[in-house]
Structure 1
Amino acid sequence: MAVLSRGDIEKIFTMEEAIQADKDALEFYSRGGSTVPLRTNIDVAEEKGQSLYMPAYVGGAKALGVKIVSVYPNNIEKGLTSVPATMVLLNPETGEVGALLDGTYLTQLRTGAVAGAATDILARKDAKVFALFGTGGQAESQLEAVLTVRNIEEVRVFDISKERTEDFVQRMGEKYAKKFNVKIMAVSNADEAIEHADIITAVTTAKKPVFNGKGVKKGAHINGVGSYTPDMQEIDEYILLHADKIYVDTRHGVLSESGDFIIPMEKNKFKEESITGELGEIIMGKVPSRDNDEEITFFKTVGSGVLDVVTSRRIYEKALENNAGQIIEF
């Protein structure tokens, strides 16, 4: 059994590979080639914690596994991460555990990659300006993914904390500015961030929209990443009502979990029929993609177990090829 840390994964698996893995995973899902049971949530009341189990199986990718994610807010007081995660990958032919992966990094990688996949498919080819809302744990992979699929010249970063924004911009500048020949800068308000922006990604925990949808320019592509509960709404309803095309990673996931959709639907402002399709349906040719450079496109992701198992399977295969990680036997 292989044990793969974040460092092991970073050495052998690129963002390009993660983006392709996510594209393949969502195509398998949209074709009906996966089994994704509802996640199991166990409350641990005495510790004020929760333990979540997210299984999935994708036959065409030979990918079977379960991601275990715990939410323990009090861990911060113990000097531990508040959301530890581990990915357990199984051999679908034998049922044996084949690998354990750093689930926290896997989540960051596949979440950045799915927005990167949507950007690659939907954003204008000549996109140059990228606006990023949020500087938390998911923000770096969102930045890297967009820089990977488009020749961005300027990144504008905005967060409600000026201190966090400036720290993030400094760290990302050191890591990516030279590599991608891009200027990464902090901005003081949301309007400044989206002005003439070709690509906009929101990855926040906001319960109110983080930018004014009326300020989005024609031809822009928007990724909504952060709203994963019914009471979270980081995307302006104006976007849902006026975007030319709207896509999701999975209909069931988005309509069950994301306040970006649930809130306007409860107000009878938005209907499920207004969703153009799943990203996997574009890949399989079932629904149209962007038709022209003037369309505003919007992609919403809440994540899915298919992304975890397919990406971890690809990582595991690369690890075997490169003799990466540690091998343990019971």
Structure 2
Amino acid sequence: MQLLNKAVVTEHLNMQAAIDAIETLLHQQAAHPNWIKSPERLVISTFTDSDSHRSGSHLSMPATMYDGENEYTVVKLVTICPDNPSRDMPTTTAIVTVSNNDTGAILAVMDGIYITQVRTAALSGIATKYMAKADCQSVAVVGCGGMAYEQLHAVLTVCPEIKTVYLWNRNHEGAQQFKTRFARDYAQWNVDIQVCEALDDAVHDADVINVATRATEGLFSIAQIKSDVHINAVGAYQPSMKEISNDVIANSKMVIVDDLAGSHHEAGDLIQAHDSDDCTWVWDDLSGDLQALVTAAPKQESAKSDKGITLFKSVGAASFDAAVALYVAKQAQQQSLGSSVDW
């Protein structure tokens, strides 16, 4: 069994590999629906909002995967701790186990923080690849927390022609820190990073908008954004949360989710839009999921060329984590990465 800490996972997992692993998974799911089994994740609320704690969550996410030769079980355990940034600790902590179902042997135990960040970002990268217009020149980052770094990295990976990045964060210092860290750690991207005082300044000229917040109401309206913008919304992971306004959802020509079952229970933006008497959007208006988008080849160019707002809403699913973690585990086995431990 290989033990892989965050440093090892980070060194040996790159964004393109994660995107490729998830796209392969989506094609496998379409061709062989029984190869991947991923029950809806278990979410347990932790604490209640108080003077000493903000409410968080614990998630248990199992999946089994057959790759055409072997079957594996991948389990991710996640704890979301909203107070951690003030402790100089990551908001999301996670661990992942990968085992062989033939023998039950555990192949790898790895830190899941970077797996989660890259998996989430790769989903947005794939959505941007198939949904955003072909000549994107700018991207806005709304919410500069831990997830935002890889989200931006993913968009730049699939849209390397982007030259301008707009940053906005409720805490202005957080945006400045993001700029410094991203420029240091992702120097391969020759982009002009601009920190914006006002949210409107960040989004109104952006061709792509990445949103990753814990907001409870829509952050911008249809009047503040371009008529052909693509939006990746990865925050608002509980029904009580919302970061995309109802008018933006209702006026999107295409709304895609990563996981159909999970979105009905966790995608606060869409749940609240459907339930609102003042919004025309309902679940029947959903364009589909990421699997259908990626595997419906004849429709892909149409999705990119038709003018209009496109929205990708991500809540996450165990199968996506499993695809990325299995890639890392196989690399670890082949290259003897990390520490080898008898179990």
Normalising to structure 2: TM-score of the pair? 0.87
Give the aligned residue type for 2:19: I
Counterpart secondary structure, 1:246: strand
Q: Tell me what 2:135 maps to.
A: 126
Q: Tell me what 1:168 maps to.
A: 178
Give the aligned residue type for 2:316: G
- The number of aligned residues is 328
| Alpha-carbon distance in 1 for matches of 2:216, 2:312 | 18
Counterpart secondary structure, 1:131: strand
Is the CA contact (8 Å cut-off) linking 1:29 and 1:306 kept in structure 2? no
Q: Tell me what 2:126 maps to.
A: 117
Q: CA-to-partner distance for each residue in 1:19-72, whole Å, 9 max, x for gaps?
A: 112223344445634222233456788x99864321111224744211112346
Give the aligned residue type for 1:55: P
**Which shows bigger deviation, 11-20 or 36-45?**
36-45
Aligned counterpart for 1:284 among listed residues 295, 311, 322: 295
Counterpart secondary structure, 1:84: strand
Give the aligned residue type for 1:16: Q
| Alpha-carbon distance in 1 for matches of 2:304, 2:135 | 15
Q: How does 1:27-42 map to 2 (within 5 A)?
A: 27-29=27-29, 32-33=33-34, 34-41=36-43
Q: Tell me what 2:202 maps to.
A: 193
| Alpha-carbon distance in 2 for matches of 1:44, 1:156 | 34
Q: How does 1:127-276 map to 2 (within 5 A)?
A: 127-150=136-159, 151-176=161-186, 178-268=187-277, 269=279, 270-276=281-287
Distance 1:275 1:69, change over 3 A: same
Distance 1:329 1:228, change over 3 A: same
Is the CA contact (8 Å cut-off) linking 2:167 and 2:193 kept in structure 1? yes
Q: Tell me what 1:5 maps to.
A: 5
Q: By how many angstroms is 1:6 displaced?
A: 1.7
Give the aligned residue type for 2:20: Q
Q: By how many angstroms is 1:287 displaced?
A: 8.3
Q: CA-to-partner distance for each residue in 1:184-241, whole Å, 9 max, x for gaps?
A: 1101112111122111110111111122222221322111110100011101111211
**Which shows bigger deviation, 60-69 or 270-279?**
60-69
Is the CA contact (8 Å cut-off) linking 1:28 and 1:280 kept in structure 2? no
Counterpart secondary structure, 2:299: coil
Give the aligned residue type for 1:213: I
Is the CA contact (8 Å cut-off) linking 1:246 and 1:298 kept in structure 2? yes
Q: CA-to-partner distance for each residue in 1:284-324, whole Å, 9 max, x for gaps?
A: 21883315252321111000000111110011122233331
Is the CA contact (8 Å cut-off) linking 1:2 and 1:327 kept in structure 2? yes
Q: Tell me what 2:338 maps to.
A: 325
| Alpha-carbon distance in 1 for matches of 2:299, 2:102 | 36
Is the CA contact (8 Å cut-off) linking 1:63 and 1:310 kept in structure 2? no
Question: RMSD over aligned Cα, in angstroms?
Answer: 2.5
| Alpha-carbon distance in 1 for matches of 2:153, 2:172 | 21
**Alignment gaps of 5+ in structure 2:** 48-52
Give the aligned residue type for 2:24: D
**Which shows bigger deviation, 55-64 or 249-258?**
55-64
Normalising to structure 1: TM-score of the pair? 0.91
Aligned counterpart for 1:58 among listed residues 55, 65, 71: 65
**Alignment gaps of 5+ in structure 1:** none
| Alpha-carbon distance in 2 for matches of 1:131, 1:78 | 27
Counterpart secondary structure, 1:95: coil
Q: Tell me what 1:107 maps to.
A: 116
Is the CA contact (8 Å cut-off) linking 2:169 and 2:175 kept in structure 1? yes
Distance 1:149 1:99, change over 3 A: same
| Alpha-carbon distance in 2 for matches of 1:249, 1:50 | 20
Q: CA-to-partner distance for each residue in 1:70-112, whole Å, 9 max, x for gaps?
A: 3466878988656431101111322221111111111111011
Distance 1:95 1:203, change over 3 A: same
